[in-house]
Structure 1
């Protein structure tokens, strides 16, 4: 890959896209393209067609998506299904028509069946029912994976899909109505810590579910590193898991975040709320065999994410505990 190659990063302002942008710049790539949603509506077929005709990117990295946690997926199933399909279908189809040589599609571990054997292998795709709380997003992402696979099969293009595990890091979404579990915990524990300091009474934190499900977490800068690795190498297959290959219970995650934030109150678990999938651990042996491994440990990653949150917390409204 030439450092002057024109690379379009869809979703370059988001947590994932901005991390990829920084990683590419650090490696010397100088011809990067990014468009905000107001500049280019990726759901608009004509607008995407015009963009590809005018800009003629050589590489496309699809980090654009409508994302959110269990609450957002439950409340807006149609938007999570349709908007994600519109975005990725436009990007994939016009990349093919514009003769884009390399396309990297980013998905999610939720594409795998809810009760698939652990750890999750790439070949488990479409072997069982999905987790109901996020199946709308998962179905959309599965169509993207299969579209890229079809292009590889029919046209021989180097279009690949990377499926990251649960991501977190700088520029994460800390809005409690739409965020994922790790940033939501950081914000809740921090708010409770501040209230405890004001009242001199240890403020409890209420968290969803039982705390028993197991999850794997990947620092977003590690994913960006994996994307650069995929950009600079030719992979034999179309689908690769990206993660650490290690997981922990949600309870253990909460206790780790609580310790890093410095909150000393109780943790109350609301078991009336859904747990989601019992376990989601990725088998990352294919990426390891290809030559890539995650570098940032969970504790280090949470510390970096909390520090970023502290520096940007004024952009978030007060949290009601």
Structure 2
């Protein structure tokens, strides 16, 4: 890996070095707070939230077994994705490399930040080719984006291939592990010390069922997280959301029960889809959704919509012609889905 100061945008590096003023997070409960033009009345909503979400990070650290100084909490994973571009990539100069098909959000934020986005096709098994991926890189490539389990394909990439990318690429490798709680494959967020150039994304939206709170996380070396905290909006997570997330983290046993149920339902759907005459292929899944290749995905998509069942049509996604991505629902929702499909 190149030295961090060579990867971070020069203006961002200078900003992070200069920012040594007192922070709102330095406040103490016994202090008289007259520095932020807050209203002294209407407690507890009168004060700005903790910009570093210390209580929430402490609890996440206990659950994820990752130090708080290596944890960033954002307004969804989208904030962390945007920060990766803003921190490391100079507009109209640098580029990033990703795989295809994958989540479209990486390309969206590349375009918003005026960064060239290069993509490399996955093979027929939806696995990466390390040589092709690295061949797409040049001296201005700052980030390689990987999503594992991948959206929309649902599969994990081979651990050995990801390790090789991390070892051979001297820039930043971002691994989006938002769906990893539905998988049995070891996660890379536990290997931060081994790979200093890695940033791992995670979320409370999926397995934890907290999409309404939209809590995203990035795990990386402490110096990277420190820069993220310098660049982010000061109060990116409001206090009621921080408190609600803390309450949800107390329900870990209940959440694990829900995940187990979803995994059982996922396996049932995998088997049931394979029996449908108009289903050409059911792709293996390590996530809470299944990619299914149909004889006519667009017709089936509209048919289900007329039945009040909304799925995701991926027909226009590269390598996903005539494919639907179907999220695993409750037992009742899945029963209604299968009933509708069997009547098609």
Shorter-chain TM-score tier: 0.3 to 0.5
Q: More relative contact order in 1 or in 2 (CA 8 Å, sep 6+)?
A: 1
The alignment's TM-score, normalised by the length of structure 1, stands at 0.37
Over alpha carbons, which structure has the higher Rg?
2
Which structure is higher in helix share? 1
TM-score by length of 2: 0.35
